[in-house]
Structure 1
């Protein structure tokens, strides 16, 4: 499949293996052309190995219309992929920045604690016990 000698007979044969009637294959070839039908049939055939395809003929028609085959990337598909990659990179960068800021905040908090321990603050009496324990544990490091 997918080679230079694409014939209607080949498409009908492969369609049969994917449970698609010869009439449906002929109608699709007439509408979309031999090459498109053959190309997406290869994708359908592969897809049927990995999962159950309930309506193979409808699946094939959608595959042709939306060009599922990965061999020829389409501009929108490529843009979408690049967009997702950029988004992932952006999220990774944002996460790294947040971590860096958190470290700076921790360092500044430790410095402040060293200069003026929280226990000496006039607000210490209002600090919940759990927070006091946490502060005591972090300053004991």
Structure 2
């Protein structure tokens, strides 16, 4: 059995998770990363994606996050999300609205840097949509 550590997933609306876990998969800005007990200290931004939590009891839960950052220490991991919800509670209309807003941001971009950033966010959202919503 893997060693456990404290994990907290917090959004502005509520505390979604606060418990001992075996592992957490975080959609970091540079790619997905698996966090386990005694992980080297890291702070990373979080891109829109799915956080997978394996609890100390062996249960697995998935949460959708829309950005934020994670503070990882050897004994804990705290993910502060801009917005987060359980995958099974995702509001399809809210996700579609975010995708539409991102498309408008791409169209309204004032310069190439803003357009590139908006296109990257749109790509993350559409990838997320494909990962969590059945075809």
Q: Which of these two proteins has the greater Rg computed from alpha carbons? A: 1
Above 0.5 in TM-score?
Answer: no
Using structure 2 for the length normalisation, give the TM-score.
0.25
Structure number having the greater strand percentage: 2
Which of the pair is proportionally richer in helix? 1
